């Protein structure tokens, strides 16, 4: 009988993975908060509607995510 390796992490690796996941979630919350606070300034500076700012923000996030994964 062959024993299969478990996909569950234990010990220090589990703690590091958990802390990293929490840190990433907190960074996303901070990023969203910054954008929400700066939304009116972005609208005034760019002379854009809320919909156009939303499209810009979505495109920006897609580019950043793509760069991080490569």
**Tokens, residue 54:** 């939303």
Q: Is residue 18 part of a domain?
A: no
Task: Give percent above pLDDT 70 in the chain.
Answer: 84
- The pLDDT of residue 18: 92
Domains of the chain: total:
1
Query: 48 lies in a domain?
Result: yes
Measured between its terminal Cα atoms, the distance across the chain in Å is: 40
pLDDT at 65 over 60: yes
Report pLDDT digits (tens) over 2-61: 556 777 778 898 899 999 999 988 988 887 788 778 777 877 787 877 777 777 667 777
User: In which domain, by residue range, is 53 found?
Assistant: 34-70
26: in domain: no
- Hey, how many other C-beta atoms are within 10 angstroms of the C-beta on 48? 14
């Amino acid at each position: 009988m062959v024993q299969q390796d478990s996909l569950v992490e234990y010990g220090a690796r589990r703690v590091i993975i958990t802390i990293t996941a929490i840190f990433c979630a907190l960074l996303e919350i901070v990023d969203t908060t910054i954008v929400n606070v700066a939304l009116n300034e972005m609208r005034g500076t760019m002379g854009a509607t809320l919909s156009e700012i939303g499209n810009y923000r979505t495109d920006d996030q897609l580019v950043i995510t793509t760069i991080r994964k490569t």
